[in-house]
Amino acid sequence: MIEELKYLGFTGAEAQVYIYLLQYPNATGYEVSKGTGLPRANTYQALETLVTKEGVIAVTPDPVRYASVPPAQLLKRIQQETAQRCHDLEQQLSALEQPDTIGHFWELRERQRIETRLTELIAGAQHRIAASLWAEDVERLSGVLRAARDRGCVIILNLFGEVDADFATIYRHEVPEKVVGGHVVALAIDFQEALVASLDAPASGVVTQNRTMVRVVEKLIRDEAYLAAIYEQFSQELETAFGTHLVHLRRRLLPQADAERLVAVTRLDAQTLHLSSELGREVNTEML
C-alpha cells in the first residue's frame, strides 16, 4: 500500500503516517512517531504536508490530534485532480506540437502486441473503421467491432473467409487457404491512424499517424473492396480475360514465389473441378 500511495504522489513517510492514522485515529504527532518508528521531525513534516494535501485533518487543537480523510474521499479527489491535470496538459502539449511531428512509425514485433493494438485502435475509433481481415481475426475482434458500430462508427470490411459480421459492410474475398502473400491485415481509423501487419510467424507490423501512409492504407482497403465488388459482378468475364483467380494478370505483378503458389492454387482448383465433373458424370451414368 505504501508503494501504491507513492505512485499517487505521497512520500514514504506520508504514506506510513496516513496508513497509521487510518488504524489509530485521533493520535498526536508523538504517538504517530512512536507508532510508525519515524523520527519525530519527519513525522511532523509528513503531518504538515498531509494536512496541506487534505489527506489528514486536525481534529482537536490542544493537544493537536489527527485523523486520516476516508480513503474513498481521498482517492476520488486524487482521481478527479489527475484527470483534470492530464486534460490540461494534453491541451498545452498539443498547442506546442508541430504538424511535421505527426509522422512517426511504431514497429510491433509480437503477434499479441499486434492483436492488442488492433483492439485498442478499434475501441478508440469515433467515426470510421476500414479493415482487411481474415475470418479468424473478425471472430476475435467481433465484440469491439460491434461496440464501435453501436456508438455510430461506419465499418467497411474486406473479409477473407466466412464468418458472421452483421455489424459491417462486407466485401468478400477468397478463403484464407487461397490467399497469396500470407496472413496480412490492414486497418485505418478515422482517416487518422493506420496499422498494417503480417501475422505469419515471425509476426511483425507497423502503426502510424503519418498522413500520407494513412491515406495509402485507406486506398489499399478501398481498392480491395472495389475489386471484390467488381469480381462478384463480372467474375466470368474477368476469368475469361485473365484466367482463374486472375492468374495471368496477377502472376505478372507478384514476386516469383507468390506467383508460383498462385499457379499451384489455380491448378488445384482446376483439378478439383475436373474430379467433381467426372464424379458427376459417373453418378449420372449409374443412374441411367
Cβ-Cβ contacts under 8 Å for 118 (sequence gap 6 or more): 137, 141, 185, 187, 195
Q: What is the pLDDT of residue 257?
A: 66
Q: What is the pLDDT of residue 219?
A: 95
Residue ranges with strand state E in the chain: 27-28, 56-61, 64-68, 105-108, 128-134, 154-160, 169-173, 184-189, 193-198, 204-208
Q: What is the pLDDT of residue 96?
A: 79
pLDDT digits (tens, 9 = 90+) for 108-146: 989 999 999 999 999 999 999 999 999 999 999 999 999
3-class secondary-structure state, position 109: coil
Hey, how many other C-beta atoms are within 10 angstroms of the C-beta on 198?
16
Question: How far apart are the two ends of the chain, measured CA to CA in Å?
Answer: 85
Measure the CA–CA gap between 144 and 164, rounded to whole angstroms. 14
Q: What is the pLDDT of residue 266?
A: 56
pLDDT digits (tens, 9 = 90+) for 255-288: 666 656 555 555 555 454 444 445 455 444 444 4
- Contact between 33 and 39 under an 8 Å Cβ cutoff? The reply is yes
Q: Buried (b) or exposed (e) across 263-284, using 16+ Cβ within 10 A?
A: bebbeeeeeeeeeeeeeeeeee
Q: What is the pLDDT of residue 217?
A: 96
- Contact between 252 and 243 under an 8 Å Cβ cutoff? The reply is no
**Residue 37 corresponds to which cell in the numbers above?**
518508528
Measure the CA–CA gap between 199 and 178, rounded to whole angstroms. 16
- Contact between 135 and 129 under an 8 Å Cβ cutoff? The reply is no
Q: What is the pLDDT of residue 104?
A: 81
Q: What is the pLDDT of residue 274?
A: 44
Low-confidence spans in the chain with pLDDT less than 50: 101, 270, 272-277, 279, 282-288
Q: What is the pLDDT of residue 177?
A: 73
Measure the CA–CA gap between 265 and 60, rounded to whole angstroms. 85
